[in-house]
Amino acid sequence: MDMTDLFATRAGRMKASEIRELLKLLDQPDIISFAGGIPDPALFPHEAFRQSYAEVLGGASANAALQYQVSEGFLPLRQWIAGEMARIGIPCDEGNIFITSGSQQGLDYLGKLFLSPNDTALVTWPTYLGALQAFSAYEPRYDRLSPAGGNMTPDAYREAATQAGGAVKFAYLVPDFANPSGETLTLAQREAVLDLAEELGIAVIEDAAYAALRYSGEPVPPIAALDALRSGGIDAGRTIYCGSFSKILAPGLRVGWICAPRRLIEKLVLTKQASDLHSPSINQMVVHRVAETHYGAQVERTRAAYHARRDALLKALEAHMPAGVSWSRPEGGMFVWMTLPEGIDAAVLLARAVSEARVAFVPGSAFHADGSGTNTLRLSFTLADERAVTEGIPRLAALIRSALEN
Ligand SMILES: Cc1ncc(COP(=O)(O)O)c(C=O)c1O
């Protein structure tokens, strides 16, 4: 039976992610891939995980590890996260922390809570593809958020939203070393986003998936911290901070969190009860142990490795890319964002890159809610070892040069 006709309208908005589809094709060993935005598995704290699983299952905690758990999440983990949030300037307690199955689940829940069909979500062009996928299932429209300048007036946003049959509900952004652009918002830009949100009366979703991965430059306070300062505390604020252990410990355990005003946490708890009841008990307990003993060292280790790879990639781009190609110089994270001369379609280039140059990247248009950005692409440096950079970048540069000549 073909069930397509039976699907809800939202199913029409669910499309295969270009990145995930692409990743399937890239296990041929001769392809040098800058495509997948995944952590380097060599950096996972393997031994700490092995030991923690054994301890959690071997001792008095075994029953709790295998039993149902409260929907908010494992209390000691929430307390640990609250301490970490306070350390980066977001004063809160465990009542503000909600454990999710990866921050991706948090984005889905926020879409579910805030977006009715035809409501408006403000996102940057480009933005994290997984956020667009999560939100799109709730049938919103998108409007463009430009924290670096050029935002529409609050009235213009409001009017466009009303005309579309809904209201502006939130602004979503990745303020530190964004996926895919690598950009970091300045303090003034963060304040401007809060000003706009205040004027529109909307929430701000701060996706901090990469926030701990800074390699150069000065840290900028999280939007949630700035908001707590101006609102008089997190519970009076409008910012929803989404955190993740995926990039520092390991993504496979699927443990992330939301730090937000208590009244939102209460709604998220109800959302989770209807969804998966709670994130896996054993993984939360293990992440708690590993975070307590290894988090700081893991941050340092991961930063050192990616810092060197970022520098090597930037150096190779500088040495080999033809004139007319520009790219971001990220202060952290995992990605360099490249802009090709107008008229070169990165998706077309990718087909040639894979078949001729045996190099892969992610074309940029999928990260644009309006499908623009066809001349942009994303390079991830987390898995880019010396060979990848010294062989892959000249090959990619030669291909771009030949595309420019044709
Ligand atoms: C910006 C951003 N947010 C969220 C996620 C999801 O991370 P996780 O669900 O593993 O916490 C990712 C993953 O790549 C990301 O790039």
pLDDT at 26 over 80: no
Q: How far apart are CA 121 and CA 91, in angstroms?
A: 27
pLDDT by residue (tens digit) across 284-331? 999 999 999 999 999 999 999 999 999 999 999 999 999 999 999 999
Q: How far apart are CA 213 and CA 248, in angstroms?
A: 8
The number of the ligand 1 atom at minimal distance from the alpha carbon of 255 is 11
pLDDT at 123 over 70: yes
Across the range 224-244, mean pLDDT stands at 98
Q: What is the residue-averaged pLDDT of the chain?
A: 95
pLDDT by residue (tens digit) across 142-193? 999 998 888 889 999 999 999 999 999 999 999 999 999 999 999 999 999 9
Residue nearest to atom 3 of ligand 1 (CA): 209
**215: which residues sit within 8 A by CB, 6+ positions away?**
303, 306, 307, 310, 331, 332
Ligand 1: centre distance to CA 173 (Å): 12
- Domains of the chain and CATH, by start: 3-45+297-405 (3.90.1150.10), 47-294 (3.40.640.10)
pLDDT by residue (tens digit) across 237-269? 999 999 999 999 999 999 999 999 999 999 999
pLDDT at 22 over 80: no
Residue nearest to atom 14 of ligand 1 (CA): 37
pLDDT band at 19 (very low <50, low <70, confident <90, very high): low
The number of the ligand 1 atom at minimal distance from the alpha carbon of 178 is 1
Ligand 1: centre distance to CA 283 (Å): 18
Residue nearest to atom 15 of ligand 1 (CA): 209
Question: Do 350 and 196 touch, CB atoms closer than 8 A?
Answer: no
Ligand 1: centre distance to CA 16 (Å): 17
Pocket lined around ligand 1, Cβ cut-off 6 Å: 37, 102-104, 128, 130, 174, 179, 207, 209, 244, 246, 251, 256
Please measure the distance between the N-terminal and C-terminal CA atoms of the chain and give it in whole angstroms: 48
Residue nearest to atom 12 of ligand 1 (CA): 209
pLDDT by residue (tens digit) across 334-369? 999 999 999 999 999 998 998 899 999 999 998 999
Name which of 104, 109, 271, 275 is nearest 203 in CA terms.
109
pTM over 0.85: yes
Q: How far apart are CA 85 and CA 6, in angstroms?
A: 45
Ligand 1: centre distance to CA 124 (Å): 16
Question: Do 176 and 212 touch, CB atoms closer than 8 A?
Answer: no
Ligand 1: centre distance to CA 209 (Å): 6
Ligand 1: centre distance to CA 297 (Å): 21
The per-residue pLDDT for 23 is: 59
pLDDT at 198 over 80: yes
**Cα torsion 226, 210, 255, 74: sign:** negative
Tell me the β-bridge partners of 243: 257
Token pair belonging to 191 = 């304040």
